[in-house]
Structure 1
């Protein structure tokens, strides 16, 4: 765990000054909003488009958000709802994607959900695009269904939903179209599954080149530059109006 924390760019890190005081360094990702357990940040690589952001637990968690507790999931849902309202005011929808290629803490990185806005007409067709892409995967002898519907069927009896449908014991890909769920896929051969699968589907919808989703360029920024980029993002999209974390102050 110490090695994972030391090498994780998404984690806050503690270090001791020469006078014995403790210094807390923020993640190497621009921080937009901080809840009690979960935060909203911007990618540390070139974003796919304007608005591209990330929801992630503050505490280092490896192996997927299925391992998050109820309090974390309440905050994840709050961020999803806030982003949906924010982008809806700009005539945009948003997809939330998570790719977990390993559930072993020693191999898995800090879990995160990527949030990518789409034009409203493209967002309406997103489920069809993702379903078609998952059905076209080459796993001919897969033991699990290629497309798993994770939408919440009835909130009163908690039937369906991402957390009740998928398992944290297996690698997976999941895309939410709203906080109630979307489409999941069990990754049976992680070595053969492209880590950029979800971004590739979105790029196909938006006619973006492979350089945008395969290996986007890492941004080399100072702490002040990351802070300025987060502030510019908040002003551009009017985030303060939708920031649910203000209720915690």
Structure 2
């Protein structure tokens, strides 16, 4: 394949008509190929026993499958018999998200998962929504939870395969392009709509509605790339609707930020509503709002409560991140003790089911802390873990993981480093040398150095006609303190307070303004507001004012809140996520050297 993008064929419901499908595939392959793979969505198995004999000739190997073929529509006549055999095949044992082999060139994508093929990141949800709990043909809440957790991983999904259309996909679309008779009342799946809004794939492919529909690209909330939706018709349909479609997407992992953020002229807003506290509460962008309103419409009250723990199974989302977007509506248990075990490296399946079926492929622990372990032993283990943290933490200078090429300046207690994925070229972090969870709990000597660093950065910024804004998020998940230092043009400095206050209101809280006679006194007053236990966010403005907010235990506070607000102020919404601003190591080293050169006369380490 070389450096060329992979060439992928997409098919709608097959209904067991493999001869018809592969005849068309061979023809297209000769005229426009070669193609690398075929993905089938919608029902894959026959609709009646009359078609089963021909279908089984491919399954048994009597007929050849011309191209690697992957399917998710694991329902229809013959599905339980065929798939039961597939599951029992020793070659398919273990944790295999890239497909269970059915026969030569045919693979079943079971449940919900994600895998990489030809450089493309592919997510899928096999089966249909059902409360029946049958073994094949339906997806489970576990599958949905797993995909939601995968959506938190870094990187962009290239393809998302589902059998059902997402409800609401025709919202915001050009009416004259929508196939006749298509509406949300005809088979739209709200769960798929919620998932696709979270996953934000570049391509979403579905079947099941007996029509072909290529929707205009739409923008995603909190992401720079667009999504293209394709609904595919059934193979051999009488209406001659298109059932085979070809795409050749460049993997997102190899694309530049400019390429990723490119939006065609016909791009529409996202058709999916932003889910609030409950599935019935939604917020949408309101036309005519001010610039600040446009930047923060997505923040309309996102506070959420923890799940009620009314089931036995664990919520993977809560275990992996400490929060769950479904709150009280989650069907799974939010267990803090299990989350502690998970954080120690215990296998999720072991915690959830009491066993793990991945075999040697699983690299997690399959034992819990002994119930009879003494408090002394636990404390000892905790102290040992604390001693080991500095070796594992990316920010500890003693850690082998520290990216030393990002370091700009080092004093006795603190160091200054280029931010990873900087919002602007001189976006830096102030970080304690020793492991500490936040800058507000630093000892007095460290605090003095921190004040000096801030003062030096402010003086340096003024020579560049900029003002440095400082902000920090303190949460239970915080590991090593880092104070963000972000310079903005002096002309925008007066707007910082209002835009943060507006964003706060959209989230349902008000900042407390903290002011002292000078910056040092203001930070001392700030420390008095912080109880050392709760989560906390604060931002230090150019005039010495500090805006602080104590984060409630059940509050789902955006991890990148400070950066998102500043990205909006600077009219850089595509850079709100640091992952969209990743640089090569050489590019990072060049920015560090440039900053060192300009900062030299202000650098507090030069006085040491």
Q: TM-score range by the shorter chain?
A: 0.7 to 0.9
Listed as ranges, the gaps of 5+ residues in structure 2 are 1-385
* TM-score normalized by the length of structure 2: 0.34
Whole-angstrom distance in 2 between the partners of 1:157 and 1:90: 27
1:229 Cα deviation from its structure 2 partner: 4.0
Whole-angstrom distance in 2 between the partners of 1:124 and 1:155: 17
Larger Rg computed on CA atoms: 2
1:196 Cα deviation from its structure 2 partner: 0.5
CA contact (8 A) 2:417 2:430 kept: yes
Equivalent residue for 1:11, pick from 375, 378, 396: 396
For 1:38-117, what aligned pairs fall within 5 Å after superposition? 38-43=414-419, 45-62=420-437, 64-102=438-476, 107-117=477-487
* Deviates most, 151-160 or 90-99: 151-160
* Deviates most, 164-173 or 238-247: 164-173
CA contact (8 A) 2:458 2:468 kept: yes
For 1:184-223, what aligned pairs fall within 5 Å after superposition? 184-189=548-553, 192-213=556-577, 215-219=579-583, 221=585
CA contact (8 A) 1:100 1:171 kept: yes
1:149 Cα deviation from its structure 2 partner: 1.7
Q: Comparing both structures, which one devotes a greater share of its residues to strand?
A: 1
Equivalent residue for 1:134, pick from 482, 495, 504: 504
CA contact (8 A) 1:161 1:180 kept: no
User: Partner of 2:158 in structure 1?
Assistant: none
Q: Secondary structure of 1:152's match?
A: coil
- What do residues 86-129 of structure 1 show as CA deviations (whole Å, max 9, x unaligned)? 11111111100101121xxxx42111100111110111221121
Q: Which is bigger in relative contact order (C-alpha 8 A, separation at least 6)?
A: 1
Q: Secondary structure of 1:61's match?
A: coil
Whole-angstrom distance in 2 between the partners of 1:42 and 1:187: 27
- Tell me whether 1:33 sits opposite 2:409 in the alignment: yes
CA contact (8 A) 1:162 1:180 kept: no
- Tell me whether 1:243 sits opposite 2:577 in the alignment: no
Q: Secondary structure of 1:167's match?
A: coil
Whole-angstrom distance in 1 between the partners of 2:569 and 2:478: 29
Distance 1:6 1:166, change over 3 A: same
Whole-angstrom distance in 1 between the partners of 2:544 and 2:526: 8
CA contact (8 A) 1:55 1:115 kept: yes
Q: Secondary structure of 1:193's match?
A: coil
1:192 Cα deviation from its structure 2 partner: 1.2
Whole-angstrom distance in 1 between the partners of 2:392 and 2:520: 42
Listed as ranges, the gaps of 5+ residues in structure 1 are 15-24, 140-145
Q: Secondary structure of 1:32's match?
A: strand
* TM-score normalized by the length of structure 1: 0.78
CA contact (8 A) 1:154 1:160 kept: no
User: Partner of 2:541 in structure 1?
Assistant: 177
Distance 1:125 1:109, change over 3 A: same
Whole-angstrom distance in 1 between the partners of 2:398 and 2:486: 28
Whole-angstrom distance in 2 between the partners of 1:171 and 1:85: 31
Distance 1:196 1:154, change over 3 A: closer
CA contact (8 A) 1:166 1:184 kept: no
Whole-angstrom distance in 2 between the partners of 1:221 and 1:109: 24
CA contact (8 A) 2:469 2:542 kept: yes
Whole-angstrom distance in 2 between the partners of 1:156 and 1:101: 23
- What do residues 199-223 of structure 1 show as CA deviations (whole Å, max 9, x unaligned)? 111011011024443644555638x
Q: Secondary structure of 1:184's match?
A: strand
- What do residues 39-92 of structure 1 show as CA deviations (whole Å, max 9, x unaligned)? 11111x221012100001010112x21210111111111111101111111111
1:2 Cα deviation from its structure 2 partner: 3.6
Q: Secondary structure of 1:241's match?
A: coil
1:137 Cα deviation from its structure 2 partner: 1.2
- What do residues 171-200 of structure 1 show as CA deviations (whole Å, max 9, x unaligned)? 110101259551001111466111100011
CA contact (8 A) 1:171 1:190 kept: no
Report the count of equivalent residues: 222
